[in-house]
Amino acid sequence: MTPLLTTADALAFARAAGRAGRSWMDLAADPDLGAYCEAHIETFDTAAIETAWTAGRRERRTAGGWVTLWTTAPADYDSFQTETLEACGSWRGRELRRVLVDPRYVTYHRDRYASGLYGSWTEDPRLAEIEVAARRERLRLDDERRAARRVEGLAWLAAATDDELDAAIDADEVESRGLTYAELRAEILRREAAAAAAARAADWARCAAAVPMGAILVDDGVPAQRGIWGVIPGRPARIYYAVRIQPGSDWQGLADQAIVESSVDGAVVGSLAGVAARLADGSLRIAPADDVPPEPVTRRIGHDRHREIMRVAVGDRVVWVGRPCFAAEVLVLDERGRIVRARRLREMALRARKDAAEEPAASAPHQPPRIA
């Protein structure tokens, strides 16, 4: 081997020894290094030789797969097969070090550091922290852009027509506007619900206007008919006094579910929509109070006989004359439905009914005959 003549030669020799895996004791006993030390006894720097040997050993370990760890654990936590590469300074209130560890004992040393509640990382945590902060900033900017796009999208969603919504769905432009398909579907459902509510309100207003509350509704009935397959049942006549909407049936605001009934006897006329339709086709009619008998009179004589009930004014009294169905006796009643017992008043009322039966009534067919 070429003799070591200069300090640089000695340092290179020590570095090469470290890379070759020679121990420090083996290097210290090397005769070439010993000869150089004797020749330069005054200027020989043992620390420099050791530093060069350590650098060579570090290169060997790095090339051999030793793992670099960053830890905040003190050097006292280092055990065998470790080497402190550098002190990285203070980080988060603790001293950070870069350590080289034999790959066979990485788990052991990381657990040893963790036993003192010190962290260890395979990457520089300072760089990772900077990267995380940069990623957070990018995410924040993305969130701001997304929020701004969403505000614009919500404004467009509120103002867009139904055709524009359909076009956006066909062109797959929903997400590009900062919206989700769930939000678009919710808006479509909201519009459909609003349109349905408006239609219900309009239908309710129309039907409520056609059926005045407190009015008297008259169903003149339909007689039974004989068809080719037998008798077709008719519909009995009926008078509904002071109609109203059945309490509790209008809670949904639906005209086809609200029930119209008589507030006097509770007789059901039908749904509000059905009653409005019957008033429109003429199967029901609104009658003034003077054109129908009082409810007690109609109830006693019969709703189906209301056309035959006659109003008779005798002096300052008004009585009602009619014969119930399948009854032989003609009843003379007051406005409360009670039988009139005064003989003279009964005779005058019955005579008036007989005279009216002999002469055609001049009044409309649906109005009760009146005799003063």
Residue pLDDT, tens place only, 14-55: 888 888 888 889 888 888 888 888 888 888 888 988 888 888
Average pLDDT, the chain: 88
Residue with tokens 């670099």: 68
Q: Collect contacts of 243-250 with beta carbons under 8 A, ≥24 apart.
A: 243/211, 243/213, 243/214, 243/215, 243/216, 243/217, 243/269, 243/275, 244/213, 244/214, 245/213, 245/272
User: What is the rounded distance in angstroms from the CA atom of residue 353 to the CA atom of residue 334?
Assistant: 15
Cα 245 to Cα 101, 207, 215: the distances in Å are 89, 12, 12
- 361 pLDDT more than 80: no
The pLDDT assigned to 364 comes to 44
Angle subtended by helix axes 181-210 and 125-159, to nearest 10: 30
- Against a cut of 0.75, is the pTM above it? no
Neighbours of 71 (CB within 10 A): 28
- 367 pLDDT more than 70: no
Dump pLDDT digits (tens) for 130-173: 999 999 999 999 999 999 999 999 999 999 999 999 999 999 98
Per-residue DSSP letters for 228-257? TTEEEP-B--EEE-SEEEPTTTTTT--TTT
> Which H or E element spans position 91?
strand 82-91
Cα 131 to Cα 118, 143, 145, 281, 363: the distances in Å are 22, 18, 21, 80, 100
Q: List, in order, residues 6 or more apart from 117 with CB less than 8 Å away.
A: none
Q: At 370, is the secondary structure helix, strand, or coil?
A: strand
Burial of residue 55 (CB within 10 Å: 0-12, 13-18, 19+) is: middle
The pLDDT assigned to 44 comes to 83
* Biggest CA-to-CA distance, the chain: 167
**Eight-class DSSP state of 328:** S
User: What is the rounded distance in angstroms from the CA atom of residue 272 to the CA atom of residue 251?
Assistant: 13
Dump pLDDT digits (tens) for 211-249: 999 999 999 988 888 888 889 898 899 999 999 999 888
Averaged pLDDT for residues 181-200: 93
**Eight-class DSSP state of 26:** H
The pLDDT assigned to 135 comes to 96
